Amino acid sequence: MSRNFHGIGAVLPSRIILWLFAVLTVIPFALLILTSLKSRADLIQGAFVLPAYPHFENYANAWIEGHFNVYFLNSVLIVFPVVIVSIILGTLMGFSFAFLSFPFRRTIFVLLTIGMMVPTEAFIIPLYYEMRYVGLINTYAALILPQIAMSLPFATMFMASAMQQLPLEVIEAAVLDGASRRYILSKVIVPLMLPSMSTLALFLFIWTWNEFLIPLVLVNDDNYRTLPIGMLFFQGRYTVNTPVLTAGAVIVIGPLILAYMLFQRKLITGLTAGATK
C-alpha cells in the first residue's frame, strides 16, 4: 500500500515546511540546554556560540545554591502521594460508576463534570481560606490534598470507562465462584486494569508535576515550593545568572522529557484521545 501518493518530488516542499516547524518547536529547548552548559563569560560571546567546554557546575549551583534540591524533593514528595491516592480513590469511584447503584448517581456524575470544567482560579480564594482555617498553609498537605481532589473527576471517569469495557463474563464467572466483591475488585478487576492505571498515573504525574497555581497560592515558605514555583522565585532572585537559571529549567523539565521518551506513544495517543472524552 502506498501512503505516499504525491510521489517523492511533490513531497519535498511539504517536508521542508514540516521540519521547519519541528525545528521551531525544538530550538527553545536546544538553546536552553546549550546555555545551561555555558559560563557567564561564554554567554557574552553570543547566544549561539558553543562554550569552550561544558560547565556542569551550573547544575551544581542550581541544585545547591538555587535550592533546586529542595524544590525537586518537594515535587517528588507531592507527586507520588497525589498520583497514588488519586488512583486508589479514582479506582473505587470508577468501580462504583461502572458497576454499582447508589443514591444521586446522576447528580454526583454531573457534579464531577463541573469540577472538571471549572478552572482552579475560580475557587482558589475559598480554598486558600479553607487551608488557612485548618492550619495547613505551608505544609505538604496543602499541596497534596487539593490536588488529589482536583484529579478525582478525571481519574473516576477514566477508570469507569475503562472498567465498562471489561468483558462481563470475567466478572460473572468470578461472582459464580462465590468470590467476595472486595476480592473481585482487587484480584480480578485491578490486575486487568493495570495498563489503564499506568496511563492514568502518567497523566496525573505530568499534571501534578506541572501544577503552578496551587503551590503559588497555598505555600509561601521556600522550603515547601515545588519546581515550577521555585523556578519563578529563583528567577526573581538571580535575574542575571542565566546559565544557572537555564540549568534549573533543565532540572524541572528533565523528568518530563525522560517520561516522554519512555512512554511517548502512550502519552501522545492517550492525551489526544483523552481530549476527545
Partner 1 sequence: MKRSPLDANASRNLIYILPGLLVYLALVLGPIIAAIGISFTEWNGIGSPNWVGFGNYAKLLSDETFYVALKNNALFMVFYCVIPIVVGLLLAALVWSLRQREQFALRTLLFLPYIMPTAVLGIIWHWLYNPAFGPINQALKLVGLGSIALPWLGDFTFVLPAVGIVASWYFFGFCMVLFLSGIQRIDPSLFEAARVDGASGSRIFFFITLPLLLPEIRIALLLTIIASIKSFDLIFTMTRGGPANATLVPNIYMYELGFQLNRYGYASAVAIIGAILVFTINYAVHRLVRPVNGGSAS
Please return the burial class of 87, using the count of CB atoms within 10 Å of its CB with bins 0-12, 13-18 and 19+: buried
What is the x/- site pattern for partner 1, positions 122-161, by CB under 8 A?
A: xxxxxxxxx--------------xx-xxx-xx--x-----
Which three cell numbers mark 101? 447503584
191 binds partner 1 (CB under 8 A): no
Q: Under a CB-based contact definition with an 8 Å cutoff, are residues 226 and 234 in contact?
A: no
Cβ proximity to partner 1: between 196 and 246 the closer is 246
Does residue 190 touch partner 1 according to CB under 8 A? no
CB of 220 to partner 1, least distance (A): 10
Size of the site for partner 1 (CB under 8 A): 101
Gap between the Cα atoms of 193 and 187, Å rounded: 11
* Three-state secondary structure call for residue 3: coil
Binding flag, residue 192, partner 1 (CB under 8 A): no
The 202-231 contact track toward partner 1, x by CB under 8 A, reads ----x--xxxxx---x---------xxx-x
Could you say whether residue 200 binds partner 1 (CB under 8 A)? no
Shortest reach from residue 193's CB to partner 1, in Å = 14
Shortest separation between residue 223's beta carbon and partner 1, angstroms: 19
Q: CA 125, CA 108: separation in Å to the nearest integer?
A: 24
Give the distance from CA 17 to its chain's centroid.
31
Of residues 180 and 223, the one with the C-beta less far from partner 1? 180
Considering the complex, what minimum distance in angstroms separates the CB of residue 116 from partner 1?
10
HEC string of 188-255 equals HHHHHHHHHHHHHHHHHHHHHHHCCHHHHHHCCCHHHCCHHHHHHHHHHHCCCCHHHHHHHHHHHHHH
Asked if 253 interacts with partner 1 (CB under 8 A), we say: yes
Under the binding rule (CB under 8 A), the answer on residue 50 touching partner 1 is no
Residue closer to partner 1, measured from CB, 15 or 60: 15
Among 62, 83, 244, 245, binds partner 1 (CB under 8 A): 245
**Binding to partner 1 by residue 271, rule CB under 8 A?**
yes
- CB-based contacts of 122: which residues, under 8 Å, 6+ apart? none
Closest CA to 90 of 208, 239, 190, 206: 190
For residue 142 the three cell numbers come to 496543602
- Sites for partner 1 among residues 63-102 (CB under 8 A): 89-90, 92-93, 95-96, 98-102
**Other beta carbons less than 10 A from residue 235's beta carbon:** 13
- 262 part of the interface to partner 1, by CB under 8 A: no
Report the residue from 118, 194, 258, 262 that binds partner 1 according to the rule CB under 8 A.
118
Q: Is 187 in the site for partner 1 (CB under 8 A)?
A: no
Q: Note every long-range contact of 260-263, with CB atoms under 8 Å and residues 24 or more positions apart, other chains counting.
A: 263/202
111 binds partner 1, rule: CB under 8 A? yes
